[in-house]
């Protein structure tokens, strides 16, 4: 019995290692191996996280979001987890879930990266006013160039050219020598 458990564990470890090795070149293969590893190690958050990452690479966004949801309490609000989970929800067009999650993270942490992600989700869902509000919060971050670019594009899209020009000037002063 003990030898059988060791054999199963070894197969799980081998599956996980194979998945990691295949992640870049063959993410579909990684998904298969990680699902095998998950059967051996069902409580492993690392296996679940890496499975979600591989699922994202294979454009299986909804499955990735569901996998990440099962471990959200453990990883939140770590920025790499927040980004991956929010992106999975957004790409699976679960905007309401994505926004509920990322706004809760932003309120807990005040992190400008969370504000940037919220702005991206609002923009993707077509709510330009809310996107603008969150990009305004995100530009407080020292490396917020994308937030400026998106904010400027929203102002142009809305025909608010003076505000767009003002943000362009602000951007130029902040990010050029």
* pLDDT tens digits, one per residue of 42-83: 888 888 888 898 899 899 999 999 999 988 877 766 778 888
Q: Which residues of 135-150 are buried (b: 16+ CB within 10 A; e: fewer)?
A: bebbbeeeebeebbeb
Residue 70 burial (CB count, 10 A): 11
Whether residue 1 is predicted with pLDDT greater than 60 in this model: the reply is: no
d(CA 128, CA 119): 9
Tens of pLDDT, residues 83-102 = 889 999 999 999 999 999 99
pLDDT digits (tens, 9 = 90+) for 111-156: 888 899 999 999 989 999 999 999 999 988 777 788 888 999 999 9
Omega prior to 21 cis, within 30 of 0: no
Question: Which residues, at least 6 apart from 15, have a Cβ–Cβ distance to it below 8 Å?
Answer: 33, 34, 36, 37, 40
Whether residue 3 is predicted with pLDDT greater than 70 in this model: the reply is no
Per-residue pLDDT at 106 exceeds 80: yes
**What pLDDT shows up at residue 8?**
47
The reported pLDDT for the residue numbered 11 is 52
The tokens for 73 are: 């309490």
pTM score, two decimals?
0.73
Q: Can you give the pLDDT at residue 20?
A: 58
For residue 52 the two structure tokens come to 């979600």
Q: Token pair of 120, please?
A: 């991206």
DSSP tag of 141? S
- Work out the angle between the directed axes of helices 128-138 and 112-125 (0-180°, nearest 10): 160
Residue 76: name the closest of 101, 40, 57, 46 by CA: 101
């Amino acid at each position: 019995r003990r030898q059988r458990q060791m054999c199963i564990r070894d197969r799980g470890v081998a599956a996980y290692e194979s998945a990691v090795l295949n992640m870049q070149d063959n993410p579909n293969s990684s998904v298969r191996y990680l699902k095998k590893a998950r059967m051996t190690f069902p409580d492993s958050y690392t296996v679940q996280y890496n499975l979600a990452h591989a699922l994202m690479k294979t454009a299986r966004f909804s499955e990735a979001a569901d996998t990440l949801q099962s471990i959200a309490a453990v990883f939140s609000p770590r920025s790499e987890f927040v980004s991956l989970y929010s992106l999975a929800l957004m790409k699976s067009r679960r905007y309401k879930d994505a926004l509920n999650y990322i706004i809760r993270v932003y309120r807990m942490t005040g992190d400008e990266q969370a504000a940037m992600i919220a702005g991206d989700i609002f923009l993707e869902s077509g709510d330009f006013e809310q996107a603008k509000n969150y990009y305004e919060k995100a530009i407080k971050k020292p490396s917020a160039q994308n937030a400026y670019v998106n904010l400027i594009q929203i102002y142009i899209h809305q025909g608010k050219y003076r505000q767009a020009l003002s943000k362009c000037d602000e951007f130029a002063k902040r990010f050029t020598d």
